[in-house]
């Protein structure tokens, strides 16, 4: 996450200063992949003689501090560093609610490679109610949505189910396909088109036996999955699909 944030800042010329808890040489965005570039970077780190600056020294002249740590470490880190007490601290957690920092959640998955500027600028940010996004990131032109603290836990649960749960299914199925003599990447085009269809028309994009009411096929699926870890998941989705629409759209 930190490397993506720094890369985005570099692309839009948003000034920032990085500080890391580890004693290793600081990184700036994404590192080049070539051997020569990596060698030069390591050599430069070896000959650097300047001692690591303290957090207090780094944040002395800044107003906003973005704390990119796991949820269960954010509050203790702020409490344990008095130099942050009078700063505007910001965290990127989707679920944490705290008086010690403002919540600004980038609703995006971040991989190992940098994204294009257009991808970064399309990321929606979900901010705690009352947070002024432009005061924190004046050079970012992103969609911004406000959320009440009481809704953050279920909002983040929705994020996890929509993104992580689907990937868990895709990963398991990709690993299972070779057992029936099919390539692991067989479903790539199918999944890509499903995602695009849903984004373009979420109401009418679904297809398959649930939509058709094809009970015979559904029963064959359940029989084939009998004793399989995914069998209960299939049954749960089928049971959910059969609920009246107002129950499917349960509101917190």
Query: Could you give the dihedral angle defined by the CA atoms of residues 49, 9, 71 and 78, in that order, rounded to the nearest 10 degrees?
Result: 60
> Which range marks the domain in which residue 115 is found?
2-147
Q: What is the pLDDT of residue 244?
A: 80
Residues 176 and 240 occupy one common structural domain: yes
58 and 130 housed in the same domain = yes
Q: Residue 194 is inside which H or E element, if any?
A: helix 188-200
Label residue 27 by pLDDT band (50, 70, 90).
Answer: low
Q: What is the pLDDT of residues 165-197, one digit of tens each?
A: 999 999 999 999 999 999 999 999 999 999 999
- With CA atoms as reference, report the closest residue to 155 among 121, 125, 132: 125
The position carrying tokens 């500080």 is 19
Residues 118 and 73 grouped into a single domain: yes
- Which residue, chain included where needed, has tokens 């049954």? 235
Q: What is the mean pLDDT of residues 138-146?
A: 97
Total domain count, the chain:
2
Asked if residue 160 and residue 137 are part of one domain, the reply reads: no
pLDDT of residue 32: 56
pLDDT number for residue 53 = 85
The answer on 207 and 127 residing in a single domain is: no
Pair 53, 20: CB distance under 8 Å = no
| Boundary of a domain, candidates 147, 171, 204 | 147
Assign 114 to helix, strand or coil. Answer: coil
Name the domain boundary from 90, 112, 147: 147
Task: Find the mean pLDDT for residues 82-92.
Answer: 96
**Coil, strand or helix at 121:** helix
Helix (H, G, I), strand (E, B) or coil at 184: coil
**Of 96, 67, 62, 93, which is closest to residue 80 (Cα–Cα)?**
67
């Amino acid at each position: 996450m930190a490397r993506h944030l720094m890369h985005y800042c570099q692309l839009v010329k948003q000034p920032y200063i990085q500080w890391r808890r580890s004693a290793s040489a600081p990184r700036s965005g994404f590192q080049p992949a070539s051997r020569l570039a990596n060698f030069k970077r390591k050599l430069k780190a070896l000959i650097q003689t300047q001692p690591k600056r303290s957090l207090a020294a780094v944040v002395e002249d800044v107003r906003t501090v973005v704390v990119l740590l796991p949820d269960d470490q954010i509050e203790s880190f702020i409490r344990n560093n008095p130099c942050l007490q009078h700063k505007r601290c910001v965290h990127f957690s989707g679920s944490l609610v705290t008086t010690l920092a403002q919540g600004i959640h980038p609703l995006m998955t971040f991989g190992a490679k940098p994204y294009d500027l257009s991808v970064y600028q399309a990321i929606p940010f979900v901010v705690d109610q009352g947070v002024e996004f432009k005061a924190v990131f004046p050079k970012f032109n992103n969609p911004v949505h406000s959320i009440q603290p009481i809704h953050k836990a279920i909002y983040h649960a929705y994020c996890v189910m929509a993104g992580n749960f689907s990937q868990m299914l895709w990963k398991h199925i990709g690993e299972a396909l070779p057992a029936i003599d099919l390539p692991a990447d067989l479903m790539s085009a199918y999944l890509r088109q499903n995602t695009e269809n849903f984004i373009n028309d979420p109401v009418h994009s679904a297809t398959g036996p649930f939509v058709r009411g094809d009970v015979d096929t559904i029963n064959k699926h359940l029989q084939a999955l009998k004793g399989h870890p995914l069998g209960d998941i299939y049954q749960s989705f089928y049971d959910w699909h059969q609920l009246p629409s107002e129950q499917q759209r349960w509101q917190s």
